[in-house]
Chains A and B, each alone.
Chain A
Amino acid sequence: MRHDRDVRIDGLAHTFDTGDGEGVRALDTIDLTIEPGQFVCLAGPSGCGKTTLLRLVAGFMEPSEGEVRVGGDLVTKPSAERGVVFQQPMLYPWMTVRDNVELGPKLRGVKAADRRETAQRFLDMVGLSDFAERRPYELSGGMQQRCQIARVLTNEPDIILMDEPFGALDALTRERLQDELLEIWRATGSTVLFITHSVDEAVFLGTRVMVMSPRPGRIVLDERAVFSTPEKNLDADEIRALPAYAELVDRVRHAIHQTEPSPSR
């Protein structure tokens, strides 16, 4: 695979302007290097700034301090090298599912036959081949999210940024999509930064699990997790039954509870 560019986050901090001259510090000095092929899960309570971090890496906003580099190139704006899977699927209803999935290569001017082939491969991978000619609004939430994932994969980014992609789905669909995502990741070797507020999801999917404290966001735990790696090749139930898995879930949960200022939140 061509995913050999690392993502280096250096002294990144962000303060939102609230108009009163003080602002809200959402993110406090993050230093982080994501190696190619890593599946980094970032967990934390809502409002802790994890989405802010993702949006800064995506290039949707300019950081107040610090910088993000992908393979040495400074991030200044969104680009195809950093694919984003949004929590609400940002599919275009005026296009079919297939046209949505083909969009990235089409924008780059890839020939119709070539991009169709690539798109078909990923439509197959996410199980949407039978729905390729449908419109996104004819699909369920889970299928829309699959479509969005296929669209990003088709574009072959250096890193895939996922912002609580399964957060709006019901529990069953969510577990199924986690399994599928794991399979896809094992097959493609993509680099992933995955934001979630679910401890189980983070430990289950990640090769590296991080916990962020709220306001200002700071990384308070950074652990290797090896449950999802291809070498192990365990299925979901086997992974969750491992003693080491339960232990890491406990540690992550503990870290998150410690970050919370009061139990009322």
Chain B
Amino acid sequence: MTDTSAAQVSAPAAHAERDPGPRPPRRKSSSGPNPWLVRALVLVGTIAVWWLVASLGLVNPVYLPSPGAVWDAFVQANRTHPIAPGVDRMIRGEYNYYLWEHLLASLQRIGIGVGAGILVGVPLGLVMATVRWVGIVVEPYVNFLRALPPLGYIGLLIAWFGIGDVSKYWLLFLAAFPPITLATIGGVRGVREDMVNAVYTLGANRRQALTTVMFPATLPQVITGIRVATGFAWTTVVAAELNNGIPGIGGLAYQAGTELKTPITIACIIVIGVTALALDALIKLVERTVAPWHGKA
């Protein structure tokens, strides 16, 4: 079967495989300067201005320590160091934990909270989207829960589950599962009817239609829901650690702030922000790996 339309379309792909020769630099010429370069320059500029303001003594270092002081605090928080200059007594990092241990403690909390959110949220969303009356009954409650700021009910959770980690797990779970559930529902409802009809005409039974079509078709939306939930859980965990949050990166930031240890507080804020970006990038990477078709089909 000779076929020019196939040849036309496959041409670019085949070209890439067979012919590794130079390609016209189409993308670069049209999009101006490299965005990453611009971002790096802006970052360097920001730090330079910060450094200038601090070193000119324009602001009391208790309010705004220099970038160097923040870096020193960051390094010291990850080491065993003397409790004060010239004193023999040694201490681990800050409040007896290294900074990375504080970070790990917070990550572990959102891992458990979001993990439980996925385990409950995805099946709940699937059931709500496929069994009409469950959706009708449960959806208002999920929406209600999603609308609440988690810190509004942390007091209640502490009263129920104590001041330890259990109340924090509950808080993060309750923060994480509504976005996941709602995204799953959206995913199921967004599957084109004929996508499902097609698999029935190929001989699928109901179970096969769910596993071969509904689940994979919903996957990109579910991952988007997990991304939203993780971002939300991260801001929540940091705030939740205001109560009994050591070890915990939010607890450390708060505690250090109340003791006017501004350099370590700022170091924590930077770590919290960078971690949030890293988590988001990680989930995006997972999505590109498990649902490479998203946005293309």
Q: Is chain B found bound to chain A in the same assembly?
A: yes
A residues at B contact (CB < 8 Å):
58-60, 77-80, 82-84, 86, 88, 90-94, 103-104, 107-108, 126-127, 130-131, 135-140, 142-143, 151-152, 155, 157, 172-173, 176, 180
Secondary structure at chain B's binding surface: helix, strand, loop or mixed? helix
B residues at A contact (CB < 8 Å):
1, 3-6, 8-10, 13, 192, 194-195, 197-204, 208, 212-213, 216-217, 219, 291-293, 296-297
CB distance from A97 to the nearest CB of B (A): 12
Collect the chain B residues with CB atoms within 8 Å of residue A126's CB: 1
Residue of B nearest to A172 (CB): B5
* Separation of A137 and B296 alpha carbons in the complex (Å): 6
Q: Are A142 and B6 in contact (CB under 8 A)?
A: yes
Collect the chain B residues with CB atoms within 8 Å of residue A83's CB: 201-202
Residue of B nearest to A89 (CB): B198
Q: Are A93 and B9 in contact (CB under 8 A)?
A: no
* Separation of A83 and B198 alpha carbons in the complex (Å): 8
* Separation of A94 and B287 alpha carbons in the complex (Å): 13
Residue of A nearest to B193 (CB): A60
Collect the chain A residues with CB atoms within 8 Å of residue B202's CB: 80, 83, 103-104, 107, 151-152, 155
Given A82-B201, A104-B202; A176-B3 close (CB under 8 Å) = yes
* Separation of A59 and B197 alpha carbons in the complex (Å): 9
Collect the chain B residues with CB atoms within 8 Å of residue A80's CB: 201-203
CB distance from B6 to the nearest CB of A (A): 6
14 additional A-B residue pairs with CB within 8 Å, beyond A93-B297, A127-B3, A131-B6: A78-B201, A80-B203, A83-B202, A84-B198, A90-B198, A92-B195, A93-B296, A94-B293, A107-B208, A107-B212, A137-B293, A142-B5, A143-B9, A176-B4
* Separation of A173 and B199 alpha carbons in the complex (Å): 26
Collect the chain B residues with CB atoms within 8 Å of residue A142's CB: 5-6, 9
**Most A-side CB within 10 Å, residue of B5, B9, B213:** B5
A-B contact pairs, 17 of them (CB 8 A): A78-B197, A78-B201, A90-B197, A92-B195, A92-B216, A94-B216, A94-B291, A103-B199, A103-B212, A107-B202, A130-B10, A135-B293, A142-B9, A143-B9, A151-B202, A155-B203, A173-B5
